[in-house]
Amino acid sequence: MSDLTHATAPTQFVEANGIRFAYRRFGGGPGFPIVLVQHFMGNLDNFDPAVTDGLAGGREVILFDNAGVGSSSGTAPRTVAGMAHDAIAMIDALGLARIDLFGFSMGGHVAQTIAVQRPDLVRRLVLVGTGPRGGDGMAAMNPAVVPLFGRRDELGEAMWLPIMFSPSGRSQAAGRRYLERITARTEDRDTLVSLETIGNHRAAAGEWGHPAKDSFAYLAGITAPTLVVNGSNDVVVPTVNSYHLQQHIPDAELLLFPDSNHGSHFQYPQRFLRRVHDFLDVQPEDDSDRLYDEHGRDPVRGGRLLPGR
């Protein structure tokens, strides 16, 4: 059990596929390690200590910058598939054979892709504020929201208040507490995401969100039990897309928080953690109600593989 926390875990580096990935790891316990995949324009310092330290009470937590993000080297891919390829390389380089995976926003697109490509790797999946390939309103961001992402130089971290939190006084107050948490670490801060990476990730989001026939079909290949979480009115990835995920992933459940936006888990960290711990703390001997085994086989139907596997 490490005595490191979100605030004290040093930034470390691991090489994979010619990329030097920055990461931080801390916590410990009986649970499987959990890898968190970050949102658009987010780096190591945008993870919420209330969430990560809460998770670290029962398992090791691994935060990382993907290729071209923050302190990691390399060029950010212009597709989600490329981002997933790099994330898998980093996870493998750390020697992690079996993990729980947590993807937020664009990180949720990446996490879905990893779960389809590597069912042997992903035991359980948490998807927050994200949506499926070709989801509703995902080909292009809401025009009213686009300018909010361009106010980093003007507002600093306060740019996230209208993006992550609803306009209500209660939600905005929660947002200000979130800002205090993510700026509390004063040493070994991460590098801001570059304009080049922001542009490449915008292209990746557009490619992912482009509607196409049967674009949800890949979700049948996610064999890991999945917890889908969102706010009641997500202005970045419309909340209806969380319903799509829950309806098309074979073993998925849905949690929606009231009076909340894209960062609902930042607004309700304790409520979120209670549900996530309950979801993740299932031991193999208690997991007999899952629909598919770790190889994507349906034990009830004599080991038939899921469609597309």
DSSP annotation of 73 reads: -
Which tokens belong to 214? 């049967």
Which tokens belong to 301? 């139907």
| CATH topology for the 12-284 domain | Rossmann fold (3.40.50)
Q: Which residues are CB-neighbours of 173 under 8 A, at least 6 positions away?
A: none
DSSP annotation of 303 reads: T
CA angle, 85 as apex, 122 and 133 as ends, to 5°? Answer: 75
Q: Are strands 19-27 and 60-64 parallel, antiparallel or unpaired?
A: antiparallel
Q: Which of 90, 99, 81 is nearest to 34 (CA)?
A: 99
Q: Are strands 99-104 and 122-128 parallel, antiparallel or unpaired?
A: parallel
- Complete DSSP assignment for 91-156: HHHTT--SEEEEEETHHHHHHHHHHHH-TTTEEEEEEES---TT-TT-SS--TTTGGGGG-HHHHG
Strand-pairing partners, residue 23, are: 12, 64
Which tokens belong to 122? 């992903």
Which tokens belong to 304? 């038939």
Per residue of the chain (309 residues), give pLDDT as tens: 679 999 999 999 999 999 999 999 999 999 999 999 999 999 999 999 999 999 999 999 999 999 999 999 999 999 999 999 999 999 999 999 999 999 999 999 999 999 999 999 999 999 999 999 999 999 998 999 999 999 999 999 999 999 999 999 999 999 999 999 999 999 999 999 999 999 999 999 999 999 989 999 999 999 999 999 999 999 999 999 999 999 999 999 999 999 999 999 999 999 999 999 999 997 665 665 666 665 555 543 344 344 332
| Token pair 């992933």: residue | 249
Which tokens belong to 293? 């085994």
Exposed (0-12), middle (13-18) or buried (19+): which is 305, by Cβ within 10 Å?
A: middle
Q: Which of 27, 47, 156 is nearest to 105 (CA)?
A: 47
DSSP annotation of 192 reads: P
Q: Which of 6, 96, 125, 121 is nearest to 56 (CA)?
A: 6
> Is residue 235 a contact partner of residue 145, using CB atoms and an 8 Å limit?
yes
Q: Which of 26, 79, 84 is nearest to 51 (CA)?
A: 26
Q: Which of 37, 53, 32 is nearest to 103 (CA)?
A: 37
Measured between alpha carbons, how far is 236 from 146 in angstroms, rounded to an integer?
Answer: 9
Q: Which residues are CB-neighbours of 202 under 8 A, at least 6 positions away?
A: 40
The residue extents of the domains of the chain are 12-284
Measured between alpha carbons, how far is 185 from 24 in angstroms, rounded to an integer?
Answer: 13
> Is residue 90 a contact partner of residue 23, using CB atoms and an 8 Å limit?
yes
Q: What is the pLDDT of residue 288?
A: 58
Which tokens belong to 173? 């107050």
